Structure 1
Amino acid sequence: MDRPRILIASPAAAADNNGNWQTASRWARFLRGPYAVTVAGGWNVNDPAPDLLVALHARRSAQALASFKAAYPERPALLVLTGTDLYRDIDSVPEARASLDLADALVVLQEAGLARLPAPVRSKARVIYQSAPPLSPAPPATKRYVDICMIGHLRQEKDPQTFMRAAALVTTPGVRLLHIGGVLDPILEQAARDTAAATSRYRWLGPLPHARTRQRLKRCHAMVIASRMEGGANVIIEAVSSGVPVLASRIDGNVGMLGPDYAGYFDAGDAGALAALIERCVFDPDFDALLRRQCAARAGLFLPAAERALLTDLVDNLLPAPRTA
């Protein structure tokens, strides 16, 4: 018997190097073997029909999901919800809301996401934390600079300007704020260039390949995620999996990843509070140790084996088990 076919419909491609693409690529690796897996930008009625459609993003994959379920209502579809889905689109975009009803199963990427779903569809949702292979922390060394990084493309949802404003407020010599990410908003690109020109401790490094980004991250003292909207950020997982503590905006998507009692939160948009956290984590050893302990306590949630097990269990329940000869 041929292996069941799975199509992962991802609005992001490898060139985008963003969280949606990392999810699509990683899930394809996890599922290949027992299943024949393809990743594509979408699906329409002229394409070969998979046995299971995995749709990333309720709004951007809405057409693919609707077309598939109209043509093959008996075949299952799984919808993975992102930050803009959960915290914007399902409230304001009818196609995104319709995707919740069409899908046979829903996945949110952190525990707080369940509460954002309408009650009638919550029973078909489950949490699957994303994962990253652990990296050994960089060895302690005497360095000229203490680097704090932010990883995320220049777009409003990531709120890079709070990170830029914090760079002007940090006063301790030797602390650098490094921003890794490509341009999705030319206004923010200009803001990054202006900040770098005005504030020597801020450096915008532009987009870097994923492997290089992880290596740069593991050598940083801490990572900042300043987002106003997140579904379950890969960068948090990659920081925690590298032994790097996180300084995070206090939004549901980040609290669902790091836990409600995490000590490294600041209010979204509050550059002064972020600057104070940066100074504290660099020069208060007890606070730095607390953040590292709290991150380490969450690390088990983000192991590849855990994500693979939850994903394959879900898929196995949506599809008949592949037969072996």
Structure 2
Amino acid sequence: MRPPKPTVAIISPALRKANNGNWQTAHRWSRFLRAGYDVTLASEWAGPTAGDLAPACLIALHARRSADAVARFADACPKRPLIVVLTGTDLYRDIRSDPAAQRSLELATYLVVLQDEGPFELSTAHRGKCRVIYQSAIACHSHAVDSEYFDVVLVGHMRPEKDPLTAMRSLALLPDDSRIRMTHVGGALDDEYLRAVQALQAQTWPLGERYSWLANLPHAETRRRIAGAKALVISSVMEGGANVIVEAITSGVPVLASRIPGNIGMLGRDYEGYFPPGDAAQLAELLQRASQDIGFLTRLRQQCAQRAPLFAPARERAEVIKLVADALRPT
């Protein structure tokens, strides 16, 4: 009779219904680990219950939003490994001022960031227990259709960190004869964004025809939309390591990105497709250049292709499995 597999609990503040980056990471990691471990995936860990042993290892996504689960596990199982994955707002905001997030860093056996600029946000002591693990996606080859339009896609739920309003405003700054059309995938999490969508769609030609909002879509359909675009726009002011960048690059689709650390860590410091965060005019110029200059667009594709090996599923799988194996290795 085979001995039981060790149990690994993955805590994600967002689960399947949210359909966001945290969920995609948690779900993917659970698949990677199931061959060697019994994996549970939940939004909280309340502590061991009668007849239910504590997991051998806990992986918590987001230092602040999973802080209660981190603290409970550290208190109940002080000698068991605890991995905290810094996924975005915690890395670039919460750990600077939030006591609960800072406590999560202290309690963690290992810290994980999702791109190679991330460790620079940590103290020297915390950097010493940090690993960079890039997210991954299965290749989904582009099926962009030749047309008179230059179709771009914006993917992400509408909230301040994603700054969708900058992308929307850029459309009004394009010349009347621009070929650009933008499709936006993601829910409006605040009435401000819903009003902005409605106002943009109510505009007369050409502005009203340039923007299409599809709200929430299943993940597979979102990937098809990305693969069918000429470029992906990411206008965020804060990112831990955007999964949509991975999905664009593995689809052969170049990215037009705000110049923030989380995007630089994904695309590289020398990438040519950046614009200043919040600068709608510069984004409009970048969109127009990408739609008119085939040489520029080709360079962006080539630069993205050079980063693609970082986002291979086999690489992420091996690094996640090694992380947990190292954490569980007796010392």
Answer yes or no: is the 8 Å Cα contact 1:146–1:174 preserved in 2. Answer: yes
Answer yes or no: is the 8 Å Cα contact 2:153–2:231 preserved in 1. Answer: yes
The one-letter code of the counterpart of 1:143 is S
Q: 1:186 aligns with which of 177, 191, 194?
A: 191
Q: Which residue of 2 aligns with 1:282?
A: 291
| 1:8 counterpart SS class | strand
Per-residue deviation, residues 68-105 of structure 1 (Å, max 9, x unmatched): 11011011110000110111000111000010010100
1:295 partnered with 2:304: yes
Q: Which residue of 1 aligns with 2:230?
A: 221
Output the CA distance in 2 between the equivalents of 1:54 and 1:184.
Answer: 27
Output the CA distance in 1 between the equivalents of 2:190 and 2:254.
Answer: 28
Residue 144 of structure 1 and its aligned partner are, at CA, apart by 4.2
Output the CA distance in 2 between the equivalents of 1:154 and 1:202.
Answer: 15
Q: Which residue of 2 aligns with 1:12?
A: 14
1:197 partnered with 2:197: no
Q: Which residue of 1 aligns with 2:168?
A: 164
Q: Which residue of 1 aligns with 2:219?
A: 210
Q: Which residue of 1 aligns with 2:118?
A: 113
Residue 204 of structure 1 and its aligned partner are, at CA, apart by 1.2
Output the CA distance in 1 between the equivalents of 2:74 and 2:178.
Answer: 58
Q: Which residue of 2 aligns with 1:132?
A: 137
TM-score, normalisation: structure 2: 0.94
Q: Which residue of 1 aligns with 2:34?
A: 32
Q: Work out the number of aligned pairs and report it.
A: 320
Residue 173 of structure 1 and its aligned partner are, at CA, apart by 3.7
Output the CA distance in 2 between the equivalents of 1:144 and 1:280.
Answer: 16
| 1:34 counterpart SS class | coil
Answer yes or no: is the 8 Å Cα contact 1:57–1:80 preserved in 2. Answer: yes
Q: Which residue of 1 aligns with 2:326?
A: 317
Answer yes or no: is the 8 Å Cα contact 2:248–2:254 preserved in 1. Answer: yes
Output the CA distance in 1 between the equivalents of 2:282 and 2:143.
Answer: 27
36-45 or 232-241: which moved more? 36-45
The one-letter code of the counterpart of 1:56 is L
Output the CA distance in 2 between the equivalents of 1:170 and 1:179.
Answer: 17
238-247 or 193-202: which moved more? 193-202
Q: How many percent of aligned residue pairs carry the same amino acid? A: 53
Output the CA distance in 1 between the equivalents of 2:65 and 2:212.
Answer: 32
Output the CA distance in 2 between the equivalents of 1:135 and 1:142.
Answer: 18
| 1:2 counterpart SS class | coil
- Cα RMSD after superposing both structures: 1.2
Structure 1 residue runs of 4 or more that deviate by more than 2 Å after TM superposition: 45-48, 171-174
| 2:217 counterpart SS class | coil
The one-letter code of the counterpart of 1:151 is V
Answer yes or no: is the 8 Å Cα contact 2:178–2:288 preserved in 1. Answer: no
Output the CA distance in 2 between the equivalents of 1:95 and 1:36.
Answer: 29
Answer yes or no: is the 8 Å Cα contact 1:82–1:232 preserved in 2. Answer: yes
The one-letter code of the counterpart of 2:11 is A
| 1:23 counterpart SS class | helix
Output the CA distance in 2 between the equivalents of 1:145 and 1:155.
Answer: 28
Q: Which residue of 2 aligns with 1:65?
A: 70
| 2:117 counterpart SS class | helix
The one-letter code of the counterpart of 1:312 is I
| 1:203 counterpart SS class | strand
The one-letter code of the counterpart of 2:128 is S
174-183 or 101-110: which moved more? 174-183
Structure 1 residue runs without a partner (length 5+): none
Residue 142 of structure 1 and its aligned partner are, at CA, apart by 2.9
Output the CA distance in 2 between the equivalents of 1:165 and 1:40.
Answer: 38
TM-score, normalisation: structure 1: 0.96
The one-letter code of the counterpart of 1:12 is A
The one-letter code of the counterpart of 2:166 is T
Q: Which residue of 1 aligns with 2:82?
A: 77
| 2:112 counterpart SS class | strand
Output the CA distance in 1 between the equivalents of 2:70 and 2:301.
Answer: 41
The one-letter code of the counterpart of 1:158 is K
Structure 2 residue runs without a partner (length 5+): none
Answer yes or no: is the 8 Å Cα contact 1:59–1:96 preserved in 2. Answer: yes
Answer yes or no: is the 8 Å Cα contact 2:9–2:59 preserved in 1. Answer: yes
Residue 264 of structure 1 and its aligned partner are, at CA, apart by 0.1
The one-letter code of the counterpart of 2:113 is V
3-12 or 143-152: which moved more? 143-152
Q: 1:245 aligns with which of 245, 248, 254?
A: 254
Residue 42 of structure 1 and its aligned partner are, at CA, apart by 1.0
Output the CA distance in 1 between the equivalents of 2:232 and 2:132.
Answer: 24
Output the CA distance in 2 between the equivalents of 1:60 and 1:25.
Answer: 17
Output the CA distance in 2 between the equivalents of 1:176 and 1:197.
Answer: 15
Answer yes or no: is the 8 Å Cα contact 2:186–2:216 preserved in 1. Answer: yes
Answer yes or no: is the 8 Å Cα contact 1:193–1:204 preserved in 2. Answer: no
Q: Which residue of 2 aligns with 1:151?
A: 155
117-126 or 21-30: which moved more? 117-126
